[in-house]
Amino acid sequence: MPLLDAAGIRAGYGDTEIIHGVDMRVDAGEVVTIIGPNGSGKSTMMKAIVGIVQASSGEIWFDGRRIDGLGADRRIPLGLCYVPQTDNVFPTLTITENLEMGGFLRSDRLDGRIREMFELFPDLAGKRNAKAGSLSGGQRQMMAVARALMLEPKLLLLDEPTAGLSPLLMETVFGMVRDINATGVAILMVEHNAKKALAISHRGYVLAVGEVRMENTGPELANDPQVGRLYLGSE
């Protein structure tokens, strides 16, 4: 049984439909990458899965439960956490407070998990009382991921985690994705660096104009000449 199973999802903003019936699936322990041209609805699809945008039709099942009728605050506790593409930290809150908000739904003490996060992201440990708005681009991305990991999710959704980062930092982020996955967390990410992302992915989807154009294993998609054309063609 897949961990996440979305079928026939339609979603959009107001009266504009952006996603026109998308099927998507993530199995436990998988890394799955969505690629596609700008504006094709990748972020919107993520938001529909998390519940920030409500799907107008289709079904979303997560971990054996149907979740498409729930609000975001009811989906998160089931174990799916999300890092938005932009605005993914609370800028006027400190690093520690950001992590506390990530763990808002935990009823136990957060100290232990926060310590684990600082071990995972040592860069953040030194700035625990700094405001998240003061972080550099790379640190901010770490912060955003750490926030999302506070609830020990089963599925982590990452929307363009390497956007705006230097090549070196990109490698760090992809390494981090692999490390997180190694602990058993499934990952669904949107990525601009198609080749690198697909290289570490089990499977991938190509999304264009709100529809899935292709679906295949990561390496095969990465080497598909058609992907290059489709993807680079509209860049």
Partner 1 sequence: MFFTARTMSSPAAARVSRVVQSTLAIVFVVVALSHIGLAVNGIFLGSILAMGAVGITLVFGVMRFANIAHGDMMTLGAYVAFFLLVSVLPEHTGLGPFTFGFPLLIAMPVSMAAVAALAVGMDVFVFRRLRLRRANIVTIEIASLGIAIAVRGFVQMVWGTPVRYFPNEGRAHFSLPADISIAPNHLFVSGAALALAIALHLLLTRTKQGKAMRATSDNPDLARASGINTERVLLWTWGIAGALAGAAGVLLVIFNATAQLKPTMGFQLLVPLFAAVVVGGIGNPYGAFIGAMLIGISMEVSTAWALPTYKPAIAFTVMVIVLLFRPRGILGSKG
Say how far apart CA 171 and CA 12 lie, in whole Å: 33
Query: Binders of partner 1: how many residues, by CB under 8 A?
Result: 28
Say how far apart CA 67 and CA 82 lie, in whole Å: 15
Nearest approach, Cβ of 1 to ligand ADP (angstroms)? 28
Binding to Mg ion by residue 43, rule CB under 5 A? yes
Task: State the DSSP string of 1-12.
Answer: --SEEEEEEEEE
Q: Cα Rg for the chain, rounded, in angstroms?
A: 17
Say how far apart CA 10 and CA 235 lie, in whole Å: 25
* Count of CB atoms situated within 10 Å of the CB of 178: 12
Nearer to partner 1, 61 or 90 (CB): 90
| Interface region with ligand ADP, contact rule CB under 6 A, candidates 32-40, 110-118, 132-140, 192-200 | 32-40
Which of residues 26, 60, 89, 198 is near partner 1 by CB under 8 A?
Answer: 89
Nearest approach, Cβ of 86 to Mg ion (angstroms)? 8
Q: Which does 232 bind (CB under 5 to 8 A by kind): Mg ion, ligand ADP, partner 1, none?
A: none
Nearest approach, Cβ of 100 to ligand ADP (angstroms)? 27
CA dihedral of residues 78, 84, 90, 91 (deg, nearest 10)? 170
Binding to partner 1 by residue 153, rule CB under 8 A? no
Q: Which does 18 bind (CB under 5 to 8 A by kind): ligand ADP, partner 1, Mg ion, none?
A: ligand ADP
Say how far apart CA 16 and CA 185 lie, in whole Å: 34
What is the three-class DSSP state of 117? helix
Which of residues 76, 143, 158, 185 is near partner 1 by CB under 8 A?
Answer: 76
Residues forming contacts to ligand ADP in the complex (CB under 6 A) are: 13, 18, 36, 38-44
